[in-house]
Amino acid sequence: MKNKILKILKEEDKYISGEDISKALNVSRTAVWKHINELRNDGYVIQSSSKKGYRFLKAPDILDKREINIPKGQFIGSNIRYFEEIDSTNSYAKKIANEGCAHGTVVISEVQTMGRGRVGRQWQSDTAEGIWFSIVVRPDLEPENIQVITLAASVAVVEAIKETCGIICGIKWPNDIILNGRKLGGILTELSAEPGHVNYVVVGIGLNANQDLEHFDYEIRQKAISLKMYAGKSISRANLLGSILTRFEKIYKSILLGENRDIIDKWTAYSVTIGKEVKVAYKDMEYFGKALSVASDGRLIVECKDGVTREISAGEIQV
Ligand code: BT5
């Protein structure tokens, strides 16, 4: 009922009387008043006037599904699990994926207590100023072709930031979202597969949105950035998240149609890696060379100084 009232208030965009709401929903005026107070406790700003009724003014800065705009019929985000705090959205997403959750389920948390990066690294996400979420998909693809999903997610993120904030970011292979030479976000893709068959893929995305520099731990202060630090003002996390989910669905569908080339071309256009001299570190090996391109399966092709051209599937890049 609370959410139905919220919907009416948002759609009306001007004062609507308690009586009109109670008629529309077939509940008492006292019930309407009670639910409006609950919405206020949730952080919604709703004006009231004894003569005119109620008027919606402002939503709280939360990533609750009521605030994320998902077009009708879109499967990514049609099922959202929202938490105020969780250890890691990726860990939870893997758990529910193992239990059979729907394709396209999205797990969102305002705060993570044990956010994870790749190879056991930590991801600082202890504040509700960022966007921390995971998408569960069950693609009909060969396990070795999954890397293109990470590239697709980075393209969706960069395009959504451009659309909702007017800010142009770059992508550093394989998973860093870069702004002004600093790390704005990262993607952690985790896979459950058997030979020749993918059970599910969890695409975990972390983006710094409204943090100030002091929010970041001392160790990453020199290399991290948020959209607010760059733009000088806060951004709407809910709008950005909605746009990422919508764009990701579109790109995801094109992967299933085998249109990887399109995604790779877009990715290359945003890349800060291709065409640059790079150092590739993987396990205890290091290669130096020029990053030439990305293959259709997402591997980075590097023309190394020893004359060998290598296809790199994992590792760290320094540009
Ligand atoms: C990543 O790892 O960049 C992937 C990060 C994915 C985080 C999301 S949040 C939602 C979902 N749930 C999770 O538990 N994880 C995913 P990697 O490339 O390994 O980068 C990790 C490194 O980035 C750390 O070692 C730090 O140096 C740096 N770092 C940590 N937190 C950061 C932050 N908030 N902003 C910028 N850099 C950060």
Range of the domain at 283: 277-318
Q: How far apart are CA 292 and CA 238, in angstroms?
A: 36
Are residues 311 and 214 part of one domain? no
Q: How confident is the model at residue 198 (pLDDT cuts 50, 70, 90)?
A: very high
What percent of the chain has pLDDT above 90?
82
Tell me which of 252, 270, 288 is where a domain ends: 270
According to DSSP, the β-strands at 106-112 and 80-86 are parallel
Are residues 252 and 150 part of one domain? yes
pLDDT at 96: 98
Going from the Cα of 196 to the center of ligand 1, the distance in angstroms, rounded, reads: 29
Whether residue 317 has pLDDT greater than 90: no
Are residues 293 and 179 part of one domain? no
What's the number of domains the chain is made of? 3
Going from the Cα of 204 to the center of ligand 1, the distance in angstroms, rounded, reads: 10
Residues 254-279 have a mean pLDDT of 92
Q: How far apart are CA 142 and CA 139, in angstroms?
A: 9
Amino acid at 171: I
Q: Are 192 and 98 in contact (CB under 8 A)?
A: yes
State how far the alpha carbon of 196 is from the alpha carbons of 99, 101, 144, 146, 251, in Å.
21, 21, 9, 12, 23
Quick one: three-class SS letters along 158-180? HHHHHHHHCCCCEEECCCEEEEC
Cis peptide before 174 (omega within 30 of 0): yes
Tell me which of 58, 81, 99 is where a domain ends: 58
What digits encode the pLDDT tens for the residues 74-116?
999 999 999 999 999 999 999 999 999 999 999 999 999 999 9
pTM, two decimal places: 0.91
pLDDT at 16: 95
Give residue ranges with CB within 6 A of ligand 1: 88-90, 112, 115-118, 121-125, 132-134, 175, 183, 186-188, 204-206, 208, 220, 224
Are residues 182 and 118 part of one domain? yes
Are residues 149 and 287 part of one domain? no
Q: What's the chain's average pLDDT?
A: 94
Q: Are 280 and 302 in contact (CB under 8 A)?
A: yes
Q: Are 263 and 250 in contact (CB under 8 A)?
A: no
- The residue to mutate among 123, 180, 203, 229, having the most atoms of ligand 1 within 8 angstroms of its beta carbon, is 123
Q: Are 46 and 60 in contact (CB under 8 A)?
A: no
Tell me which of 29, 58, 87 is where a domain ends: 58
Whether residue 319 has pLDDT greater than 90: no
What digits encode the pLDDT tens for the residues 28-46?
999 999 999 999 998 899 9
According to DSSP, the β-strands at 176-179 and 182-194 are antiparallel
With the CA atoms of 157, 158, 161 and 163 taken in that order, what torsion angle do they form, in degrees rounded to the nearest 10? -110
ipTM above 0.95, yes or no: yes
Are residues 287 and 186 part of one domain? no
Q: Which residue has the CA at smallest separation from atom 23 of ligand 1?
A: 123
State how far the alpha carbon of 270 is from the alpha carbons of 10, 58, 90, 201, 275, in Å.
37, 35, 26, 24, 12
CATH number at residue 53: 1.10.10.10
CATH number at residue 313: 2.30.30.100
Are residues 110 and 236 part of one domain? yes
Are residues 314 and 260 part of one domain? no
Are residues 186 and 101 part of one domain? yes
If residue 294 lies in a helix (H) or strand (E), which one and from where to where? Answer: strand 285-294
Are residues 258 and 168 part of one domain? yes
What digits encode the pLDDT tens for the residues 126-177?
999 999 999 999 999 989 888 899 999 999 999 999 999 999 999 999 889 9
Going from the Cα of 286 to the center of ligand 1, the distance in angstroms, rounded, reads: 22
- Minimum mean pLDDT range among 51-55, 152-156, 311-315: 311-315
Are residues 227 and 95 part of one domain? yes
Are residues 236 and 148 part of one domain? yes
CATH number at residue 232: 3.30.930.10
